[in-house]
Amino acid sequence: MTTAVPPPVTVGRTALGALGLLALATGALESVVTPTLPLLQRELGMSPSEGALLSIVLLITGALVTPIAGKFGDRYGGKPVLIKLMSVVSVGGLVSALAPNLPVLLFGQVLQGAMVGALPLSFIIVRKHLTEGESKVAIGVVSGLFVGGGMVGTLSAGPVAEQLSRHWMFALPTIVVIGATVATNRLMPHDPPGRADDNGGVDWPGFALLSGTLVTLMLVLMLAPDLASEPLALVALVLLLVALAAGWVFVERRATSPMVDLRMLALPAMWKSCLLTFVICVGTAGAVYLVPQLFAASGDGYGFGAGATLIGLYLLPGAVAASLAGPIGGLGARRFGSRAVVTTGVVLMAVSLLAVAAVHTEVWHLVVGKAVIALANGLCVTAMVTSTATSVDQGDTGIATGLVLVTRVLGFAVGVQVSGAILTAGIPAGSDVPAESAFITGFVVAGVVTALALLVTRTMRKGVTE
């Protein structure tokens, strides 16, 4: 006799609104350091190397926490793990807001990095309580609000820090995070554990090796330009990176309960999603880094010498486009399939990057180009996440989307570091401003890398439209 499976508990718009507000607030909290890094360096007496460490520590923590959060969400239920994770983020935000010095601020940023794991947990909750078609739209909305929150934080952090203080730029989004976490806990129905038979503990050896791999990767990317004159030191770092990565793969393949299921990564749908996400985010990071730099530059016949507030206004259309990309991408994936949405996004992004490389003599050239690139990136990432979330078993949703989101973080970090290295190499002797050719090279490299994604998109399944 077959037992009927009860229908999922209906989720109201208020509960989904609380989840969306949480995504918006965490996105804002994640992004406040980047535009205010020079101010933080002045107030806390940081050296450039310490500033670089502050700018990447949240990414490293997020990349480590995300797969664990997704796995625990699949095992124990998305909501309880999400609430615990956001409690850690809230403490981190308060520590950062009250930090009197760099070590305390670094500790706060380490705790805040747990926020990156909130997205796969949100996807677990949404998928358990909504139909497949509705979940695609909801995932797109949550993803779009997280991206939009990041842009809000980028635009508002500078004015808040200058008009109030650096403490308030952390405190304000943290207050919203706390309120949204409480609302989500009260309004969102409980989701049952997904894997009662999975009793394996945390893969601490895998966690340690992955931590070392990511830290070493960031050091290689950050120090490569400075170590060019010391090839032995650079080779030693690269060999250490290879050894740590190989050790991590060895441990994960033999672990009873691995931190990251590499067998899942071997599935065609998964490795294609991760490869596409990495390549697309490398290209996007080029624009994210290069466009503000070109706005601020004041070279001979290029650049605009804009200040931080003006740059924020120039980036506003991109913020709007990024916020809209999530819902549009979710709807597009539902109507036309993920392959069509990703292909459209890749073409838009590659053409925009190459167009900006060729034409960048007016402010509106960069404003329009950055907005189209932000929209295209949002379409691509949302389509990849929704495709991944709905192409694996429901019990693997957190692990699968966590892999894609970790790949997104790594792609962005690599793209920023490569773009920075191109500009550094393009500074003429006796000058502190990169040559125009360096900006052109950076945009062309980003465009070509993005276009390579088309080699993978053509092998994707068209997907099912609802």
Per-residue pLDDT of the chain in tens (466 residues, 90 and over written 9)? 444 444 455 556 776 777 777 778 888 888 887 777 667 767 887 654 555 567 777 877 777 777 677 777 767 767 777 888 888 889 999 999 998 888 899 889 888 888 877 777 777 776 666 666 666 667 777 777 777 777 788 778 888 887 888 899 899 989 988 988 888 778 777 766 655 545 556 677 877 887 788 778 777 776 666 666 677 877 888 899 899 989 988 887 777 767 666 777 767 777 777 888 888 888 888 888 788 778 877 777 788 877 667 777 787 788 788 777 777 777 777 777 777 888 888 899 999 999 999 999 999 999 999 999 988 888 887 777 666 665 666 566 666 766 776 777 778 777 877 777 787 777 787 776 788 888 899 999 999 999 888 887 766 555 444 3
For the whole model, what pTM was predicted?
Answer: 0.70
For residue 273, what is the enclosing H or E element? Answer: helix 268-296
> Interhelix angle for 118-129 vs 363-389, to 10°?
50
Contact 187, 82 (CB under 8 A): no
Q: What is the DSSP string of 319-368?
A: HHHHHHHHHHHHHHHHHH-HHHHHHHHHHHHHHHHHHHHH--SSHHHHHH
Q: Find out whether 116 and 65 touch, Cβ atoms under 8 Å.
A: yes
Contact 37, 54 (CB under 8 A): yes
- One-letter amino acid identity for 46? M
Q: In the prediction, which pLDDT does 358 show?
A: 92
pLDDT value at residue 1: 44
pLDDT of residue 396: 62
Residue with tokens 């981190």: 92
pLDDT for the residue numbered 86: 84
One-letter amino acid for residue 432 of the chain: D
pLDDT of residue 6: 46
- Distance, in Å, from the CA atom of 439 to the CA atom of 413, rounded to the nearest integer, reads 18
> Can you give the pLDDT at residue 323?
72
Assigned CATH topology for domain 260-466: Growth Hormone; Chain: A; (1.20.1250)
Do residues 257 and 399 make contact, with C-beta atoms less than 8 angstroms apart?
Answer: no
- CATH of span 9-189: 1.20.1250.20
- Tell me what pLDDT residue 19 has: 72
- What residue spans define the domains of the chain? 9-189, 204-258, 260-466
DSSP state of 428: P
At residue 298, the 3 state secondary structure works out as strand
pLDDT at 440: 92
Q: What is the pLDDT of residue 443?
A: 93
User: If you write DSSP's letter for every residue of 13-69 in order, what string do you get?
Assistant: HHHHHHHHHHHHHHHHHHHSHHHHHHHHHHHHT--HHHHHHHHHHHHHHHHHHHHHH
What was the pLDDT predicted at 12? 60
Is there a shared CATH topology between the 9-189 domain and the 260-466 domain? yes
